[in-house]
Structure 1
Amino acid sequence: MTGSAPAVGVADRPGTADAVTDVATAPGPSTAPRGVRRWGLALALIALLAACAASVGIGSRTVPPAQIWQALTDPSVSTIAAEAVRSRVPRTVLGLLVGASLAVSGALMQGITRNPLADPGILGVNAGAAAFVVIGMAYIGLNSAGQYIWLAVAGAALAAAAVWAVGSGGRGRPSPLRLALAGAVMAAVLTSITQAVLLPRAEMLQSFRTWQAGGIEGARFDQMTGVLPFFLVGAVLAVFSGRALNSLALGDEMASGLGLSVGRTRLLVACAAVLLAAASTALAGPIGFVGLIVPHAVRAVVGADNRWVLAWSVVVGPLLLLVADVVGRVVTRPTDIQVGIVMAIIGAPVFIVLVRNRKFAEL
């Protein structure tokens, strides 16, 4: 998701696309050297491979690296260790998928709003998806991710639109703090609706509590297959977003003057962010703070070029999520703490620091 294609909505007139690219990606004080970005990304990929090995090897039963490799390459091996490794493979794959999607979704939201506090959880997008999923479970009888993904997308989209409308007051672009407050209010309202639907239905309450906390345990490949098209569409849209976000970072007037269709660009990028967040929520529940922490950590290394921010987010997002999941398995072994809880413990202090830091007033 490096965003190497021309900016979305750039007018097809001579020199316009080149002008947008040159201005949006011109070296500046926040731009890291290309070698640092490339070698750093390679190191992050190595760390991600190590996190995948830890994810399939560590749990209530720890499996040595040699046995992990044997279990993955030799189907005839049927030891307890081999079965433990194989049962954790879907969980690891889901962690990769959800971590990358939430991180990219957060980076896209921060880019189109130029709001450093934007995140699918903070802006109420995850809460909107969760509320619609619960309504589908209670009143329509839906019982799998492939069935209620459409409701998750609808809920996420409506929540995002409502937060933007409330945060901006219907006029222009909202400030970062107003948008975050609108998201918090919207999340509270949607969570109350969710609880109101659940309370009279004790048979749903226990299973939903586990899903609501956000977790990747119990992952199954058949559930991922039904939702995969939504991830793919969101990923394709994100690929074409990096250069357009660089243009938006110059300001709406400058971007429009360079030929960018600002409204259409924001709509397409918002669709990518909502699809990725909704698909992740449908599979793993509302996991927060991944989309907040990862883009900020990445920008500290690669600078402000959104093409690199998106590329790094694809790697650093699942790295963070898998490490958090492994930590949740270890601290209360043999039981697990769901990764959504671990991410909340990590992310809440980061959110407070960002709110108090005036340097993050706007991207």
Structure 2
Amino acid sequence: MTLLKSPKVQGGSAAQPPADPERPAGQPEAGAGDRSGRGRFASRAAGLLGALALLLLVLVLSLAVGARQLSPGEAWSGLVDGGSPAYTVVHEMRLPRTVLGLLAGAALGLAGGVMQALTRNPLADPGLLGINAGVAAAVVSAISFFGAAGYTGYIGFAFLGAAAVSVVVYAVGGGRAATPARLALAGTALNAALISYVNAVQLLDTASLDRMRFWTVGSLARAQDDVNLMALPFVLAGVLLALALARPLNALALGDDAARALGSRPTLTRALAIIAVTLLCGAATAACGPIVFVGLMVPHMVRSLTGPDLRWMLPYCALLAPVLMVGADVLGRVLGRPAELQVGIVTVVLGGPFFLYYVRRRKVAAA
């Protein structure tokens, strides 16, 4: 009778299972954590490529859809061939507004993501926290009191308004001790006061009302190449700064002490984040008017795909926010035929239900 022998025990522990015969000698076996980490990286990278493809599709639709429908081939021909019958339609009417939608969408999406990380407020948005209203108040003051005209005339005022409101809301909301509720209340109160000021100035100055009535709705229809070229360096600087702040903002989310232990400088990070938001919101809002909910919706949708890691979340925002902005512009052209709905109206119609759903979901989760 053969006895079954138990494995030898050395040092109080059972013998290790045999090595994987397919693994070369001397090569360590990859752990489950490593495999899952590589899987997450691959899925997020693939998601970025998918977001880029979706953005390219929306850009093509923006060039093709309008009062005069163009096929994708005609849109491409009008883009690259100066002798094409569609050249004038594409280059003079649709390409400038498409480029502006791309720039403004990326700017507002990144600004929303940075603001939500900086304030730890899931409702932070350039519109909800009053930054758009600050830009509007500065621009209407420039037009009415200083005779400013066009993007070149009031871009400086737009940056001043965005920076002032950012600092005031952050300070009134409690600074480092700010809570989401206090920031939301401060932003809402300041937004109401500034909008009242804008309306009062417009009622007293009919000339400024005529020049502001399309701008205050939020529109891409009056986009021009020179405006896009002026906005480009500001948006590009804000995008690069926001992306560079991803790691410091990740550390700041752990608290000031933990951030310092990780080599971050919380005060400098906050200051640079406010500068990035000012550049992004000021340039975008001055160019196409105050457009709300883009900076709120996109970071929330992206966070469900990437998690809270800003190193992935912010690049996703930079690609998917223009998808929302340009897509809303295309939708406005389709729904408003033979005229069109302004993109600011479409984003409000889309963003309002999203905002209510999000608030309702948080209440249910907290119950």
The TM-score, its normalising length taken from structure 2, stands at 0.86
In structure 1, distance between residues paired with 2:301 and 2:200: 37
What residue identity is the alignment partner of 1:96?
L
Give the share of equivalent positions with the same residue, in percent.
Answer: 44
Q: Deviations over 1:279-318 (max 9, x none)?
A: 1001000011111111111110111110111111110010
In structure 1, distance between residues paired with 2:345 and 2:101: 15
What residue identity is the alignment partner of 2:190?
M
**Partner SS for 1:75:** coil
In structure 2, distance between residues paired with 1:304 and 1:257: 20
Q: In the alignment, which of 170, 175, 179 is matched to residue 175 of structure 1? A: 179
Hey, what does 2:4 align to over in structure 1? Answer: none
Which stretch has the larger CA shift, 141-150 or 255-264?
A: 255-264
Report matched runs for 1:264-303 at 5 Å: 264-303=268-307
Contact preservation (8 Å) 1:149, 1:282: yes
Hey, what does 1:112 align to over in structure 2? Answer: 118
- Residue 93 of structure 1 and its aligned partner are, at CA, apart by 0.4
In structure 1, distance between residues paired with 2:323 and 2:311: 19
In structure 2, distance between residues paired with 1:245 and 1:360: 29
- Residue 349 of structure 1 and its aligned partner are, at CA, apart by 1.7
Q: Deviations over 1:174-220 (max 9, x none)?
A: 22122112111111100111111111221221331110010111211
After TM superposition, which residue ranges in structure 1, 4 or more long, deviate above 6 angstroms? 29-32, 359-362
Report matched runs for 1:153-164 at 5 Å: 153-164=159-170
Q: In the alignment, which of 351, 356, 359 is matched to residue 352 of structure 1? A: 356
Hey, what does 2:10 align to over in structure 1? Answer: none
Hey, what does 1:55 align to over in structure 2? Answer: 62
What residue identity is the alignment partner of 1:39?
A
Q: Deviations over 1:61-83 (max 9, x none)?
A: 11111211111121012x2x442
Hey, what does 1:244 align to over in structure 2? Answer: 248
Hey, what does 1:140 align to over in structure 2? Answer: 146
Mapped pair 1:224 → 2:228? yes
Contact preservation (8 Å) 2:202, 2:209: yes
**1:306–1:189 Cα change, 3 Å:** same
- Residue 32 of structure 1 and its aligned partner are, at CA, apart by 8.1
What residue identity is the alignment partner of 2:67?
S
What residue identity is the alignment partner of 2:351?
G
In structure 2, distance between residues paired with 1:305 and 1:190: 34
Report matched runs for 1:1-363 at 5 Å: 33-77=40-84, 79=85, 81-86=86-91, 87-168=93-174, 172-358=176-362
What residue identity is the alignment partner of 2:162?
A
**1:258–1:361 Cα change, 3 Å:** farther
Contact preservation (8 Å) 1:31, 1:304: no
Contact preservation (8 Å) 1:132, 1:155: yes
In structure 1, distance between residues paired with 2:279 and 2:179: 24
Which stretch has the larger CA shift, 313-322 or 244-253?
A: 244-253
Q: Deviations over 1:226-249 (max 9, x none)?
A: 233322321231131111111112
**1:161–1:360 Cα change, 3 Å:** farther
- Residue 30 of structure 1 and its aligned partner are, at CA, apart by 12
**1:252–1:355 Cα change, 3 Å:** farther
Structure 1, unaligned stretches of length 5 or more?
A: 1-25
What residue identity is the alignment partner of 2:335?
V
Output the aligned Cα RMSD.
Answer: 2.2
**Partner SS for 1:212:** coil
In structure 2, distance between residues paired with 1:70 and 1:233: 32
What residue identity is the alignment partner of 1:165?
A
Contact preservation (8 Å) 1:31, 1:305: no
**1:338–1:344 Cα change, 3 Å:** same
Contact preservation (8 Å) 1:234, 1:276: yes
**Structure with more relative contact order (C-alpha pairs < 8 Å, separation 6 or more):** 1
The TM-score, its normalising length taken from structure 1, stands at 0.87
What residue identity is the alignment partner of 1:298?
V
**1:209–1:360 Cα change, 3 Å:** farther
**1:147–1:303 Cα change, 3 Å:** same
- Residue 257 of structure 1 and its aligned partner are, at CA, apart by 2.6
In structure 2, distance between residues paired with 1:309 and 1:100: 13
In structure 2, distance between residues paired with 1:153 and 1:54: 32
Structure 2, unaligned stretches of length 5 or more?
A: 1-32
Alignment size in residue pairs: 332
In structure 2, distance between residues paired with 1:180 and 1:206: 32
In structure 2, distance between residues paired with 1:296 and 1:30: 23
**Partner SS for 1:358:** helix
**1:201–1:314 Cα change, 3 Å:** same
